[in-house]
Structures are given as C-alpha cells and as structure tokens.
C-alpha cells in the first residue's frame, strides 16, 4: 500500500480548482488554503499523473516485517449468554483445530464471564488445548468497551497468531474495535478459511455483492482476525478433555465504560431458520396467498419451515428473518427444497452446508442445479401439488 502526498507549497486557488475537477470520486477538497484528500479516494492516481505539476506524488509505504514466530496459537472467542454458549463458538473450535494441524499450533478458547466454572467443562470437551479465562462481575452482560479492553489484554499477554469470532451481533460489534487498536486486519463473514505453512490465514468471503470470492491474507500484521457466521462450519465431535484452564488476572483490566445497561428485554422465543432441519425456500414465482398456502402445505407435511430469497422480502411478502443468503441467514438443514429459486450466488452462499438439496425451477440452465443434489425442470405450480399428493399417499393421509 501507499499514500498520496500533497506539496502544499505548490497549492494555490487555481491548482486547487484544477485538482478538484480532475478527481472522478470527488475525493479532493480545498479548505483554508490547503488541499486535502478524503476517504472517497480510490487510489486511481489520476491526480498524480494528470494533476498540476509537483502538487501530487505517490509514495509507497515502508512495510515493516514482523517476526511471525512470536505469534503462536489459534484463539476462538467464546460467546455466551444466559442460554449458554453460542453454537458458533464450537463450530469455530472445530475449524481452528483443522487450521492448527497445518502449522502445529495450539488451539485456545478465550472466555470472559462472571463465573468460569459454568462453561469450562463443555469447552474442554471439544478439544481445546487451553482456556484463557477472565472472571469478573462486569462480564455478567456484554459491554463492548470492557470486552475490547479484555481482548486487548489477552492479545498482549498471549500473542495468538489468529483470533476467530462468531459473525453475531456481539462478535461484529467489538472485533472491529480490537482490530483498530492493533492496526491489524479483520475479515467479516468468511465462508472459507485456510492456512499457509508460514501461519498466514487465508480468509475467503464473497465480495462485490457476492459475484466473486475474495481471498484475503494479512502477511505483515498480527493477530489475524476473522468473523464467521453460524452454520458455515460443522460442529466437531466431542473428545476426551485434556486441556487446561488458565485464569488471567483482571486487576490490570480497565472496567470504566461510557456504556450503561438500562434494561434487559427478553427476546420472544421463535424458531430460527438457521436451526431448522428441513426448509422449503421460495423464489420470485410466489406472489399470491394461494401460492404461499401451497408452499406451506408442503412444508407442514415435511415438518419444515418456510424461507425464501431477497426479492420476496423486498416485496413485503416474507419476513426478513426468513431470508436465506448473504444479507439474510445462513442455513444448513438436513433437507432443503427450493421452489422457483434461480440460485444466485448471494442465495447459495447461505445454504452450502445443506445435506440434501432438492430444487424445482422452470429454467434448465438455472445456477441452482449446480448445487442441488436432485432437480426437476418445469412449472412448480404443476409439480408441487403432485408432490404434495404423493407425500400424502405415502403417509396414508388419502
């Protein structure tokens, strides 16, 4: 990476006006006799090539190599609430163990809680080498500032090479603060993680609206950090515990905060499609109450939940909590039936963990057939009623 330097000695109203007109991103501004560049800059360098002579210059930043051998271990942040540990934490432990085999590093769990003994046995049963725990009454409820302070203390103390967070509201809220404090990278919503022998974490995530998969590495900064959504990776099998619990001193932590907890409102209990074992996903052809009634009848016969694509949500026909995809929920049911879903990458990125995918679509070239295990090409409003009748017959309902 580099930066664009401005020689203010060569700036005057004329060169400033010329520079502002030149920038296609409106990133150049002129205030109080000085020329500046704001965050809209895309480093196209047109100002360097075609701007007023001597005003703009591009400078490569000096890369300071780090000693990667001083950063050891793959750490997983353990997210928990009154309902227990979030399952995404165990999924990340499983992935961390896979990554650790490549570089022969230990796997750590990082736990902030008001009572360590509530969680340690369950965490150790998934095969972590160490649990680094912080126990203090202030950890009874999530506080973004206190959690950030604690993670900063952990990193300075242990120096892990990688830290993985769940792509939840908690993980997404404080992981960026940690990354900012250490001036390191953070890749959000990774769908694939790999490891190089030199300990560089390969972080893959959809980019440009899901049209490409971007491979991201952080070769000159540590720790490397990523968030991963629930249900992206498989939950590992439990093992005979052999790890240890390392209690870290909280005396050095800063518990002062500008965030105040005013009330706790229990969230209404609902069935999350991420937890569903069977799902019937609907696409654009569903428009009328009769269409949805047909899909609901199929779902009821299979003890499945109704879900769908973004266009249905945007049209107000489906609850946003029922959306599958990059801007919705990630699912991994045992059975996923898609009806009228074309299979855009934004959708398929949210269902790759499904064990069996059965798709009905009128377009024989639809992308959904590239990921489906079984597919039917045809009019779904003719196929689904026949499918419903067949299920009823097999269940002895007719």
pLDDT (tens digit per residue) in 157-197: 999 999 999 999 999 999 999 999 999 999 999 999 999 99
Pair 127, 97: CB distance under 8 Å:
yes
State residue 334's pLDDT score. Answer: 93
State residue 345's pLDDT score. Answer: 84
Residues 138, 139, 142, 146, CA torsion sign: positive
State residue 82's pLDDT score. Answer: 82
State residue 80's pLDDT score. Answer: 94
Q: For the chain, list the domains and their CATH numbers.
A: 2-60 (3.30.70.20), 68-247 (3.40.50.620), 273-394 (3.40.50.1220)
State residue 398's pLDDT score. Answer: 60
Q: How many CB atoms lie within 10 A of CB 125?
A: 15
DSSP track, 166-223 = ESSHHHHHHHHHHHHHHT--EEEEESEEEE-TTS-EEEEEEETTTTEEEEE--TT-SS
State residue 269's pLDDT score. Answer: 66
State residue 219's pLDDT score. Answer: 92
State residue 210's pLDDT score. Answer: 66
- The pTM for the full model equals 0.79
State residue 352's pLDDT score. Answer: 84
Matching residue, tokens 């360098």: 45
Per-run averaged pLDDT (10 residues), the chain, 398 residues:
88 93 93 92 92 91 85 97 92 97 97 94 96 95 95 97 96 96 94 95 84 88 95 92 94 88 78 89 94 94 94 93 90 94 88 92 94 94 93 80
């Amino acid at each position: 990476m580099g930066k664009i330097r401005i020689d203010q000695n060569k700036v005057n109203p004329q060169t400033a006006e010329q520079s502002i007109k030149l920038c296609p991103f409106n990133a150049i501004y002129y205030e109080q006799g000085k020329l500046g560049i704001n965050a809209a800059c895309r480093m196209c360098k047109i100002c360097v090539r075609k701007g007023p002579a001597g005003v703009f210059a591009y400078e490569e930043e000096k890369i300071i190599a780090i000693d990667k051998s001083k950063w050891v271990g793959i750490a997983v942040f353990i997210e928990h609430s009154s309902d227990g540990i979030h399952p995404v934490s165990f999924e990340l432990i499983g992935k961390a163990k896979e990554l650790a085999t490549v570089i022969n590093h230990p796997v750590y769990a990082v736990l902030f809680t008001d009572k360590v003994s509530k969680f340690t046995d369950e965490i150790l049963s998934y095969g972590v080498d160490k649990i680094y725990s912080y126990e203090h009454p202030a950890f009874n409820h999530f506080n973004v500032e206190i959690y950030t302070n604690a993670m900063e203390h952990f990193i300075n103390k242990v120096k892990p090479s990688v830290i993985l967070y769940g792509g939840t509201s908690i993980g997404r809220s404080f992981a960026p603060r940690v990354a900012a404090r250490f001036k390191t990278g953070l890749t959000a919503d990774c769908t694939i993680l790999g490891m190089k022998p030199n300990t560089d974490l390969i972080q893959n995530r959809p980019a440009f609206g899901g049209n490409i998969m971007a491979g991201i590495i952080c070769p000159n900064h540590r720790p490397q950090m990523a968030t991963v959504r629930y249900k992206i990776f498989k939950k590992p099998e439990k093992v005979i515990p052999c790890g240890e619990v390392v209690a870290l001193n909280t005396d050095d932590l800063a518990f002062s905060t500008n965030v105040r907890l005013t009330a706790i409102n229990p969230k209404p209990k609902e069935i999350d499609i991420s937890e569903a074992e069977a799902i019937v996903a609907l696409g654009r052809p569903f428009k009328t109450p009769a269409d949805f009634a047909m899909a609901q009848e199929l779902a009821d016969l299979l003890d499945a939940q109704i879900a769908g694509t973004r266009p249905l949500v945007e049209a107000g026909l489906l609850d946003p909590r029922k959306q599958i995809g990059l801007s919705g929920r990630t699912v991994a049911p045992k059975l996923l039936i898609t009806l009228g879903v074309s299979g855009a990458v934004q959708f398929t990125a949210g269902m790759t963990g499904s064990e069996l995918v059965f798709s009905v679509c009128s377009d024989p070239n639809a992308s959904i057939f590239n990921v489906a295990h079984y597919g039917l090409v045809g009019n779904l409003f003719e196929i689904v009623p026949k499918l419903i009748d067949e299920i009823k017959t097999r269940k002895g309902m007719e």
